[in-house]
Amino acid sequence: MAMLKENKPQSIDAYIALQEAFMRPKLEQIRKTIGKAAPQAEEVISYSMPAYKYHGMLVYFAAFKNHLGFYAMKDAMLYFKEKIEPYQTGMATLQFQWDKPLPVKLVTEIVKYRAQVNIDKKTAKEAVKKKKK
């Protein structure tokens, strides 16, 4: 059965509030970590998950029963291949266990990397546009 739009969280605050109490501290921690790493990023809900945009999508996160899912794009997964190995479960998916410390430094590095990738893409697009004129 499809979820009605009014049942979906419209903000990250609402998303976190809907989660189980034991999850909220780590959800707030990853939110704060992402915000510090990319203070200019906009918080949004995308695909019913907390997400961050800065010249395009940066990262997403989501709460699951057994883990906190962190979603960076494929380019970040390739760039950080060795560092993410203990957490990687899919092409662009990392899983952080609720009972283990959040790898704040790694999350920060990934977010900063993704922000730079998006800036570089934007700059390249603008250069192409300028050249066409």
The domain of 30 spans 5-132
Q: Tokens 């034991």 map to which residue?
A: 22
| 69-87 pLDDT tens trace | 999 999 999 999 999 999 9
Q: Residue 4 — pLDDT band, cuts 50, 70, 90?
A: very low
Contacts of 58 (CB under 8 A, 6+ apart): 34, 38, 41, 51, 52, 72, 111, 114, 115, 118
Phi, psi of 124 (to 5 degrees): -65, -45
- Number of CB atoms found within 10 A of residue 107's CB: 23
* Overall domain count for the chain: 1
Contacts of 51 (CB under 8 A, 6+ apart): 43, 44, 45, 57, 58, 59, 60, 61
Confidence (pLDDT) at 3? 43
Identify the CATH number of the domain in which residue 19 sits: 3.90.1150.200
Sign of the C-alpha dihedral computed for residues 70, 62, 121 and 108 taken in this order: negative
